[in-house]
Amino acid sequence: MKRRLMMKTVFATLLAVSFAGTAAHAADFSKRSLKFGMQNPKGHPAELGAQKFAKLVEEKSGGKIKIRVFAGGVLGGDQQTVSALQGGTIEMTALNSGILGSHVKEMAIYDFPFLFANEKEADAIVDGPFGQELHKKLEEKGIVGLGYWELGFRDITNNVRPINKVEDLAGLKLRVIPNPINLDWVKALGANPVSLAFPEVYTALEQKAIDGQENPVTVIQANKMNEVQKHLALTHHVYNPQSIIISKKVWDTFSADEKKAFQEAAAEAIAFERAASREQTVKSLEQLKKAGMQVTELAPEELAKFREKMQPVIAAHAATVGQETVDAINAELAKLRQ
């Protein structure tokens, strides 16, 4: 009888400790509502990735942390969103990593033309020490990087003529992401770069204020640019990783459990988003062709000429980014290509 009583007492104590531990752990998640602003429209792989991330965070926090995704640039352009994020008024965003070069100069390396040969190379670089180190540099600017998903390889559209050779680009007014390297590579091709925030691009194309633009086919299709553009050239001239970032002001208020939940959710969302992006790239190209876009590809000798024209631009911006950073990424790429 005594022994049975003792066992009951021990069991009751263990149960009490277990409940106490559960309660303590649950207390590590605070009720929060966060805004995730982005340029990509609803249904784009990046927007689907953001929704997946939000769902995962809610599940991992037991429903306490809710993230609202604001797609299509409704909270402003990329630079506006990053400024708001640094101030803590918008908590999260995902944007082309190269845009963050205005905050950390080394990030501009991601806008170098013809840097990556394929998605496998890009994944290895951004997920490895090189990509992690660049995200660490953002912290002193009030930004925390949770990882990278992809926008993909960029191609060129216009409404004037098909692009079969490099000279066909001469004189075209092309919208580019507003940063120096993009302005310079367009000039090197004899075209005229126009800096515009992404939410303004469709209207500018529609009103013929610009002749064309450059983006991955998923972005072109999701934003219905085929309605205002006839020609698509599959140049694959730049690959865009996208940085998933959160305000450091907000991050510093998180408990260890909250940080862990966000990091785990980011890792799962990255795998999901990249798979969705690569699947959608194939579908988007087919849909654009069906919609009537005339698709061209540069012959190998023309592509070589394109690359050659980029060399002075890359050399000039290597000095801005820092030769150490250029050497580091080239060394990592050399290892991957062995």
Mean pLDDT of 279-290: 97
Task: Please state at what angle helix 119-127 crosses helix 129-137, rounded to 10 degrees.
Answer: 60
* Residue 20 predicted with pLDDT over 60: no
CATH code 3.40.190.170 region(s) in the chain = 32-151+241-284, 155-238+291-337
Cα–Cα distance for residue pair 186/192, rounded to 1 Å: 6
Q: Tens digit of pLDDT for each residue in 34-60?
A: 999 999 999 999 999 999 999 999 999
Residue among 174, 168, 152 nearest 294 (CA):
168
Categorize the per-residue pLDDT at 117 as very low, low, confident or very high, splitting at 50, 70 and 90. very high
Cα–Cα distance for residue pair 28/85, rounded to 1 Å: 24
pLDDT of the residue at 177: 86
Classify domain 155-238+291-337 at the CATH topology level.
Answer: D-Maltodextrin-Binding Protein; domain 2 (3.40.190)
pLDDT of the residue at 23: 42
Strands 231-233, 192-195: pairing is: unpaired
Supply 200's token pair: 């303004």
pLDDT of the residue at 5: 45
Categorize the per-residue pLDDT at 2 as very low, low, confident or very high, splitting at 50, 70 and 90. very low
CATH for the 32-151+241-284 domain, from 1.10.10.10, 3.40.50.920, 3.40.720.10, 3.40.190.170: 3.40.190.170
* Bigger pLDDT: 1 vs 142: 142
Q: Tens digit of pLDDT for each residue in 71-90?
A: 999 999 898 999 999 999 99
Q: Report the DSSP beta bridge partners of residue 94.
A: 244
Q: Tens digit of pLDDT for each residue in 169-190?
A: 999 999 998 889 999 999 999 9
Cα–Cα distance for residue pair 182/90, rounded to 1 Å: 27
